[in-house]
Amino acid sequence: MEYIRSKDIYLLMRDILKLINPTLMEHGSRVAYIVYKMLREENRYEEFELADIVMVATMHDIGAYKTEKSRLNDMLQYETRDSMTHSIYGYLFFKYLSPVPDMSKVLMYHCRDYEKLQTVDYEYKDVAAYINIAEKIDIYANTMGAQFDPRMFQKQAGTKLSATGLDRFYQCDAKYNILEKLKDGSYKEELDEIAEYMIFSNEGKKTFMDMLIYCMGFVRESMVLDTVTTICICGEISARLFLPDQEREMIYYAALLHDLGMLGISQDILQAPRKLKPEEIKHVRTHVGITQEKLIHKVDEDVVAIALAHHERGDGNGYPKRLTDKQISLQQGVLQVGDVVSALVNKRSYRDAVSKQQVLRFLNDEVEKKRFKKQPVMVLVESYDEVMEHVRKETARILKMYQTLNMQYQQVSTKYKI
Ligand SMILES: [Fe+2]
Ligand SMILES: [Fe+2]
Ligand SMILES: [Fe+2]
């Protein structure tokens, strides 16, 4: 059973990054389109290989979501002058967390002058050189508007930019009206069509889905730990309830995606070290609707239904639909418990982690009030220490690569004083 297609993982990833920064995401899509048109013309790659390149090109600036937060709107500055920071973070991010680690150096080299790039021995250096051309064209076309003439780059041919690449671009632009299509937005459809050729193995899909979690971390570091903890607790509960593999997989995807909509909620409110005002609570609650909007038609509907019910409660006082116990499935019930316990055992801006006794008391109260389903709570309470020990080990395992990446980035930053 396929709960999400490779193409939709790509589209979902774009949606997530768009929630974080629409300008940067659209830049990525336009660059991917230019590179796709250029490489397609050369017939060097099969369609499915081009699909991988499109994925990487779309995310060529992924490092900037993390490193350029304070100046995301000053693309000209960090893309053309101090490009090192976001290139290195992007490279490490792809190396450790993506399903295509062999393409990670494309991100490192995408801002490098062509002369220097020439000396490097790397399979995909042409792709990096083409991304470099494409991103310069996109940035300057957007900054200069009607005054932009792509021929202005001709004087950098062979030094900063690849001469072959530039010629290829001029030829493709004349043939396919690339700049025109970028301006009127008609490139988008063509780009989505190529995504049809994206085929990840099951393992690749899993890696890509995990990568989505780390993307959430660009906005709030705590979302990574929260999501991974929720996934692990749900996994432990599902196993102890002897749920069939299919249901466990559905719960896994739902747990991974359930709070995606939080990326659309204002940071000031989420990080406020105080109790929220009623209108702020109302705003936070819209995250379920945003999650729905992003997941619908991309993810299996049963998975979406589990994800969207994570704030429902059996007594009818949950949200957004005020479902009652009979309308809530066991799978939905598992995620409700996993989500709450994950929030309790992890720290918040306004409080410390909650103790075991408090968690157990809370769970018992909630079951008594018929807000939670009994079975998931029972299996969790019965072997709480064992479950939490597994969760601790599992989260540490999953987060290991992420921590290695952040540590290496720190080391490189210190070394290069960036
Ligand atoms: Fe860049
Ligand atoms: Fe870029
Ligand atoms: Fe939520």
| pLDDT tens profile 36-85 | 999 999 999 998 899 899 999 999 999 988 877 666 566 666 666 667 78
pLDDT at 410: 86
Give 269 Cα–ligand 3 centroid separation in angstroms: 14
pLDDT at 185: 95
pLDDT at 76: 65
pLDDT at 66: 82
CB under 5 Å of ion ligand 2: residues: 61, 135
pLDDT at 171: 98
Phi-psi region of 318 (alpha: psi -120 to 50; beta: other; left: phi over 0): beta
Boundaries of every domain in the chain? 6-197, 219-404
Among residues 354, 318, 351, 346, the alpha carbon closest in space to that of 333 is found at 318
Give 23 Cα–ligand 1 centroid separation in angstroms: 13
Structure tokens at 69: 């937060």
Give 53 Cα–ligand 3 centroid separation in angstroms: 34
Ligand nearest to the CA of 343: 3
Residues of the chain under the 70 pLDDT cut: 69-82, 416-418
pLDDT at 79: 67
pLDDT at 359: 97
Q: Cα 329–335–336 angle (5° rounding)? A: 85
Give 56 Cα–ligand 2 centroid separation in angstroms: 12
**Which CATH homologous superfamily contains domain 219-404?**
Hypothetical protein af1432 (1.10.3210.10)
Give 92 Cα–ligand 2 centroid separation in angstroms: 16
Cβ atoms of 225 and 395 within 8 Å: the answer is yes
Among residues 84, 71, 88, 91, the alpha carbon closest in space to that of 113 is found at 84
Give 60 Cα–ligand 2 centroid separation in angstroms: 6
Q: How many CA atoms lie within 13 A of 71 on its CB side?
A: 12
CB under 5 Å of ion ligand 1: residues: 61, 79
Q: What is the dihedral of CA 292, 298, 303, 304, to 10 degrees?
A: 10
Lookup result for tokens 């660059």: 31
Give 234 Cα–ligand 1 centroid separation in angstroms: 38
Give 169 Cα–ligand 3 centroid separation in angstroms: 45
Provide the angle, in degrees to the nearest 10, between the axes of the packed helices 221-240 and 384-416. Answer: 150
Give 107 Cα–ligand 2 centroid separation in angstroms: 10
